């Protein structure tokens, strides 16, 4: 077991190394291209992702709807859209194939 003094030296050394390291620039959401939009769906009563990039994957447990699915979804009634949403929640990353 380390002494309290030794633990303090280790912490101080770690903090000094961290402060000497170059800082990573923060991502700017206004830079670059948009790959997805977070949408508050009134029909579904929850938030969903609308992805413009086929490789977008959500890591927050929300369903992702992709741009190429939109023509198919536009023809569906509210109940069908809710069923599709439930399926997307159960199977993250799933895609609608016509």
47 located within any domain:
yes
8 located within any domain:
no
68 located within any domain:
yes
Q: Please state the pTM of the whole predicted model.
A: 0.67
19 located within any domain:
no
Q: Read out DSSP for 17-49?
A: HHHHSPPPPPP-TTSS---EEEEEETTTTEEEE
Note the pLDDT tens digit of each residue in 27-81: 666 778 889 999 999 999 999 999 999 999 999 999 999 999 999 999 999 999 9
96 located within any domain:
no
Domain count, the chain: 1
Quote the domain boundaries for residue 58.
Answer: 36-90
57 located within any domain:
yes
């Amino acid at each position: 077991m380390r002494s309290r003094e030794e633990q303090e030296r280790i912490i101080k050394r770690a903090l000094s190394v961290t402060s000497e390291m170059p800082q990573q620039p923060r991502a700017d959401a206004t830079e670059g291209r948009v790959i997805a939009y977070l949408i508050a769906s009134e029909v579904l009563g929850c938030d969903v992702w609308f992805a413009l990039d086929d490789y977008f994957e959500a890591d927050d447990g929300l369903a992702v709807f992709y741009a190429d699915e939109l023509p198919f979804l536009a023809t569906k009634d509210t109940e069908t859209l809710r069923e599709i949403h439930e399926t997307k929640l159960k199977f993250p990353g799933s895609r609608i194939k016509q």
